[in-house]
Structure 1
Amino acid sequence: MPGKMIVCIFVMVAGLLANQVMAANSWPVPLHMPDFERPQSLRDAPWPAQISVRILVRRDGSVQFVEVVEGTDPEFIAIARKAVEQWRFQSWTPPASSPEGEVIRVTVNYGETEGQRQSLAHNVKLKKVLCHQLNEQVRKRNAWWLPRRSSDPSVFEQTERYLSHDPMIRTYLSDAQRQDLVVALLEARADIIARCKSNPASRYVDQLPEKVREAI
């Protein structure tokens, strides 16, 4: 991985070309990825800065735990296995070299500050956002008498961050492809706001450009 990046998690797939053009559903989009929970018995014990696991993501999105990378502690292995066995992804099309599924390395980094952390399945949260929530954010941002909270990013900012930095997307899409998604989001911003204003009970993601929606 070029350079040194501070991210909540990163994913590496051996042998995958960074500039390979991927079609819709050609990478495993998270549906449910609960974090590794520290058990009560380890609340005061040393906790590793990061935990790396290798998992098999099958074609149907189901997951098989393979191993903890560079870790032999039975308790940490049990923690990782318990979390991974609950992970689920959308069905996808694996590469031709492994049509039934692909082994992926996922690293959860616990060295981040709370503000820098991002959910293992941040896209799932975005899918739950309703238009009336975006409408309220827009109203508050446009109200000059209300202070803006820099620690409370807007839905658009969260979406842009997901498209730019989500570990799955970074693994399967090139910089140019991710930038293209961000540009499509920004160019559609006014239309998204207008549609959400007209349909406050609808889902925010349903108002996004098709290629952006497919990535989420």
Structure 2
Amino acid sequence: MRFFVLAVALFLSSSVFAQFTPQSVSMPKPAYPASQAGTQGHARISLKIHNDGTVSDVKALNATQPVFGDAAVAAAQQWRFKPWDVSADQPAVVEAQNDMIFTPTQPSKESVQLTFTQTTYQSCSALNEEVSQFRRDHPTRPLIDMKSFAITRVAVMFPALSGKKDYTEGLSKADELEKALPEIVQKCQANPKAAYADYLPRSTKLYL
């Protein structure tokens, strides 16, 4: 699934230097959080831009969901600007804010189905390795943020996103999937030769 992320122009925090705007060199867009499939969101960040072109103190001021704030901060930490000479009109550090709007686009049925099939029919042993790595890299994040589970959630939501089924029903099925994840992980760990799809909730399989 593809997503558009709009990074709105920088808003300088200090009116004293409002006439000076650092020139961007690289402003990577944030990755759309997979756990928020089908959800439009917003995040506002603050940051300091230094005259050598680097940034620091990137913080999320507010966000419709914490994951949108995290994604915005992670992207902004990679931003770089054209260095400038410090002068009376060009300070060594400029404080700024930025708004980012996360808007999901319509996924194609073919791309969703292909990725979903590749994901769900993987072996439990492969899923177990992914879970272990995910826990090491992201010990506090929910299981639904793991790639395989996030892809499954997108597939569950697709009928609703494409207008073929009720959106509220899609959200309900996605919630059922998320609640079932600990049990799915437990069963896969006990039966590594089985397939991940074997342990999806029956209601999820029927819905798909």
Please identify the structure whose Cα radius of gyration is greater: 2
- The structure, 1 or 2, with the larger RCO (C-alpha pairs under 8 Å, 6+ apart) is 1
Question: When the two structures are superposed, what TM-score results if normalisation uses the length of structure 2?
Answer: 0.42
